[in-house]
Amino acid sequence: MIEVNILPEETPGTTMFNRVAFVTGASRGIGRAIALTLCRAGYDIVVGSRDLETNEEVAAEIRTCQGQALAVNLDLRSLESIKEAFGKALQQFKRIDVLVNNAGLTRDGLALRMKPDDWNLVLQVNLTGAFHCIQQVLQPMMRERWGRIINISSVVGETGNPGQANYVASKAGLIGLTKSIAQEMASRNITVNAIAPGFIDTDMTSVLTDELKEKMLAHIPLKRMGRPEDVAAAVRFLASEDAAYITGHVLDVNGGLYM
């Protein structure tokens, strides 16, 4: 009788190797939650942001859950910084299976008085920087014929928002970028999706007044703010084999704020 050895399906948690996820803006908030959630799901993590000291703290947390971690300095305003960070990641892990473009910033103001520098900075970091990160992973993913690119957009990229013309333009641009790259890469088994968080409890929203928070909650059917872990769970799903037939999609994580 001939024995046949059946190898386990190669998915995070059951693979003969760990897949590698590069998370931008991973030092705090949603990015930190994403990094730790993917670690617990069996991924090795590249922690990227400009705050190298905090990156190292997150990397240390990842190592406690038995994942490998690399902390890299990543300044999305600089193409050279992006190339250097991804070069270090590829040198250590030899592969990047998942890219999560999470890093972003705001410089709010009415369009009438918005300074050119504030417009340019937000578009440079939130959209152009994300595009340059995508460029760094396409060839490695094409070689492996497997990849997941997940762009963190925003509900305001779908609805618009007064006083945030630059931020809204960058997040709406991420949705368009997602759909274009998804079409280009589908034949290589690389999926590209976006997540549009709503009102999430992070440092960015902590500065809002209680009155403004109450007004926002009144428009959310689930009557609560989201948690960074809510967004991280959506990332974990889109990064998995369970989402293999989903690409070019925008997944709303907003408590029903926008339907």
Positions marked active-site: 167
Nearest to 26 by CA among 80, 99, 90: 99
DSSP letters of 202-226?
Answer: SHHHHTS-HHHHHHHHTT-TT-S-B
Q: What Å distances lie between residue 33 and 76, 144, 174, 218, CA to CA?
A: 20, 27, 21, 26
What distance in Å separates the CA atoms of residue 215 and residue 200, rounded to the nearest whole number?
14
Both tokens of 247, joined, read 């690409």
What distance in Å separates the CA atoms of residue 15 and residue 240, rounded to the nearest whole number?
12
Q: Is 235 exposed, middle or buried (0-12, 13-18, 19+ CB in 10 A)?
A: buried
Confirm if 102 and 25 have CB atoms less than 8 A apart: yes
Nearest to 127 by CA among 176, 89, 85: 176
Both tokens of 131, joined, read 């595009």
What distance in Å separates the CA atoms of residue 154 and residue 252, rounded to the nearest whole number?
8
